Amino acid sequence: MAVEEQKITDKYSVYLGDCVEVMKDLPKESIHLSIYSPPFGGLYQYSSDARDLSNSLDYKEFFEHYAYVIQGIYDLTLPGRMSAVHCMDIPTGNTGLDHLKDFPGDIIRLHEKMGWKYVARYHVWKEPLMVRNRTMTKSLHHKSLCLDSTRCSIANADYLLIFRRNGDNKIPVIHPTGLMDYAGERRPPADVMHNRGYTGNQIENTYSHWIWRQYASAFWDDIRIYRVLPYKNSKEEDDEKHVHPLQLDVIDRCIVLWSNPGEVVLTPFMGIGSEVYSALCAGRKAIGIELKQTYYRQALKNIEMVKVTSLDVPML
């Protein structure tokens, strides 16, 4: 296996190396779910490594190389199982006269071309002032509205795209007592709390019904944006300012919706380990692959926190 470092336990395996090369050596049809954020084509450069997708010469070359990742995940995924891809529209600049690239749409079209079925798109809402303060996007400034509102834009949502591999799922993802835990900023109504873990007729499980209404919406406006793992120590001096890992609420929802306890969750762009962390906390097993050494080191530290924060959830 083409790896520089690795750590393998009975609960997880993490690798420092190129995900395309590593995935070639993993057992085919052994993954139950994948969750990841690919490098946002043309927006950020994460390292100078020639194998880094963010180092592609242009948008077209990015997708030529990304196709190998999609194929690798397809080969590893069990028939009928899901892959969740976190992405966003790509701005071409910050002058107020720029436009957006339909990065999510291009991801969807490439997946469909390679045999995946596109089944859902979730919108993760972002508060406009928070986005403006974090990114200093000129088209979000109130001053731009006052001077020429044709130069204004929006606080772009993040998207979570869900794909299903062709074939029949032989192992249903079941919830015999409904959804047990809500990952979000709202508070479940007090009058449904008594039904948490209800073992009777699930039509009567008002607690799980309430959570399902939040999760089944195409617009996730209840994600806790700053509920992320520690990441500042993973940054190098010449790094992009953008090091903002995927929110744990988003990952937690994916894991509970599309995997059973004890199943294997893959993330080919591990970053600081958020997907591995959430999978382990939820009683799943995990495989993570990361190319950048500083991210890999931070991921190891974050994964070590699981036994403290999750009270060492046992694997099945």
Query: Does 132 map to a domain?
Result: no
pLDDT classification of 195: cutoffs 50, 70, 90: very high
Report DSSP state, residue 247: P
pLDDT tens digit sequence for 124-141:
998 888 888 877 888 888
| Cα pseudo-dihedral 12, 13, 19, 23, rounded to 10 | -100
pLDDT score recorded for residue 10 = 95
With a pLDDT cut of 70, the percent of the chain lying above it is 86
Report DSSP state, residue 46: -
Query: Does 316 map to a domain?
Result: no
Is residue 308 predicted with pLDDT exceeding 60?
no
Query: Does 276 map to a domain?
Result: yes
Q: How far is Cα of residue 121 from the mean position of the Cα atoms in its chain?
A: 13
pLDDT tens digit sequence for 202-254:
999 999 999 999 999 999 999 999 999 987 655 555 544 445 689 999 999 99
Query: Does 133 map to a domain?
Result: no
pLDDT score recorded for residue 316 = 28
Nearest to 36 by CA among 241, 216, 276: 276
Main-chain phi, psi angles of 199, to 5 degrees:
-100, 0
Contact assessment for residue 84 and residue 104, using Cβ atoms and an 8 Å cutoff: no
**Number of domains present in the structure of the chain:** 1
Query: Does 141 map to a domain?
Result: no
Round to whole Å and give the CA distance between 69 and 59.
16
Annotate 197-213 with b (16+ C-beta within 10 A) or e (fewer). ebeeeeeebbbbebbbe
pLDDT tens digit sequence for 82-100:
999 999 998 877 676 678 8
Question: How confident is the prediction for the chain on average, in pLDDT?
Answer: 89
Alpha helices, DSSP H, located in 181-291 = 206-215, 248-258, 274-281
Query: Does 144 map to a domain?
Result: no
Round to whole Å and give the CA distance between 313 and 316.
10
The two structure tokens encoding residue 200: 């009777």
Q: Within 10 Å of residue 71's Cβ, how many Cβ atoms? A: 14
Main-chain phi, psi angles of 68, to 5 degrees:
-70, -35
pLDDT score recorded for residue 201 = 96
Burial group, residue 93, by CB count within 10 angstroms (0-12, 13-18, 19+): exposed
Round to whole Å and give the CA distance between 70 and 116.
9
Query: Does 243 map to a domain?
Result: yes
pLDDT tens digit sequence for 157-178:
999 999 999 999 999 999 999 9
pLDDT tens digit sequence for 54-69:
667 788 889 999 999 9
**CATH code at position 217:** 3.40.50.150
Query: Does 149 map to a domain?
Result: no
Q: What is the residue range of 38's domain?
A: 5-124+156-309
Report DSSP state, residue 5: E
* H/E run at residue 130: helix 128-135
Round to whole Å and give the CA distance between 281 and 283.
6
Contact assessment for residue 80 and residue 168, using Cβ atoms and an 8 Å cutoff: yes
Integer angstrom CA distances of residue 202 from 5, 195, 206: 46, 10, 8
pLDDT score recorded for residue 47 = 58
Residues in contact with 92: Cβ distance below 8 Å, sequence separation at least 6, in sequence order: 98, 99, 100, 101
